[in-house]
Amino acid sequence: MKRALLLAGSLVLILAAVLIGRAARPGGQRASPPAAEPLALDSARVLERFAAAIRISTVSEDDPGRRDPQQFVALHQLLGAVFPHVQGRLVRETVNRYSLLYTWPGTNSGAAGVLLTAHQDVVPAESAKWSHPPFSGEIAGGYVWGRGTLDDKVAVLGILEAVDALVAEGFRPRRPVYLAFGHDEEVGGEAGAAAIAALLRARHVPLEVVVDEGGAILQGVVPGVAAPVATVGVAEKGSVTLALTAHGAGGHSSMPPPRSAIGRVSRAIDRLENDPFPARLDGANLGLFEAVGPEMAWPYRVLFANLWLTRPLVLRALTAQPSTAAAVRTTLAPTMLQAGVKENVLAPSARALVNLRILPGETVSSVIERVRRVIDDSAVAVSVEGQGDDPSPVSPSDTAPFRAVTGAIRQIYPAAIPAPFLVVGATDARHYAGLTRNVYRFAPLPLTGADLDRLHGVDERIAVVDYLRAVRWYAQVIRRLAR
């Protein structure tokens, strides 16, 4: 018995040494980057142009009848007036009346192009709750305030400022550069980005890389990492909304059947919530932790350096929080429930909508099949509401375009750790996925957890210094990608 205990103790010590030894390996990724090339900017004019764009309420409403297309026309007029070098050097086209496509010819016309994309539209805002009116574009307290300062006029104006400055200083791209600004990303992008992508495909335009929004520079958000993490999306989840419908006989509530329509739909939702999709740590979501692992504090560093052993424990911890669970599993959220007309009348039918965000490796078809299997009730019909999208392909993180994007990040934000990751929401980038394998989702926005709440929320704003720095990042990434 004593020898067995000694042997067991020795094995434990050896295992502990292996785990700690793996965690103690140096990261090797923190060498100082070369200095970014200078960019001449008139800060006051840059800020006023940005504020002027925020004042134009290019709101996307779910109801097409409530949209005001003249706001997009006004934005186009502004962009044409305030960026003279862009207007004089690039060719601008209007696609589907309200989306914009700019073409900057390269010195090598046969080279595959660089596409930077962003969207002009914003979500609605309730003015009464804001510290500064959402379409005021006020510059106060070191911030520019208003809807679009984070999502996504910051990218539209930031890209155009960068290009305008580059043209002014005489920069000539070797690769053709395309700027694509859709007008309906917040409601799916079908009339905007999808139409631009179809136009480029019809023209047989070769693309080397696409850069869109999606990731950001997160401070205090990634567990165990004190340094800011620049998350570069290499893929995004798919999505589908399913309708669960059951029918009943109706009648007076004093004589209820054993199972009502409402009961059937309720039981279906309960079964789905109690049998979630399995969690996985692989592909795009694993890339983030591989990149930041060497920078993690203990004991996070030990856990993520030894996933061969600790993966079940890590997954259990990640799935305990909604924000991290979304990165490692297909999620299912009941969002609407419709049934009944009076408190003493049995509902003749009941209908619920559940929204699923689909992890790469699964498809719309596969998640529907699993939903039906888990519900296990032939009286509950499952149908697709609207249009579903499969997850995007996973773009490689070992290519020259990815290194150009992350290299520009390290030049402008030297304290940040660039890392690939999975975007859990939807972006316009998915419409361009068929044009190149190199599709990267990153906006140069330093964000804390509180800032994340401002996205689509109240008091959206960006620090003046952060906006000016974002313009410099767009200029630097264009230089690196277009050479």
Catalytic residues: 121, 185
Of residues 443, 469, 472, 410, the one with CA closest to residue 39: 472
Q: Rounded CA gap, 415 and 272, in Å?
A: 43
Q: Rounded CA gap, 181 and 428, in Å?
A: 10
Q: Rounded CA gap, 444 and 466, in Å?
A: 8
Residue with tokens 């142009």: 49
Number of residues that this document lists for the chain? 483
Residue with tokens 């925020």: 54
Q: Rounded CA gap, 352 and 328, in Å?
A: 25
Look up residue 32 and give its DSSP letter.
P
Q: Rounded CA gap, 375 and 256, in Å?
A: 22
DSSP string of 252-265? BTTS--SS-HHHHH
- Which contacts (CB < 8 Å, 24+ apart) does range 197-202 have? 197/431, 197/432, 197/434, 197/435, 199/95, 199/101, 200/115, 200/432, 200/435, 201/434, 201/435
Does residue 246 contact residue 339 with C-beta atoms inside 8 Å? no
Does residue 115 contact residue 432 with C-beta atoms inside 8 Å? yes
Question: What is the three-class DSSP state of 101?
Answer: strand
Q: Which residues are paired to 218 by β-bridges? A: 229, 447
DSSP string of 116-151? EEEE--B----GGG-SS-TTS--EETTEEESTTTTT
**Residue 455, amino acid:** L
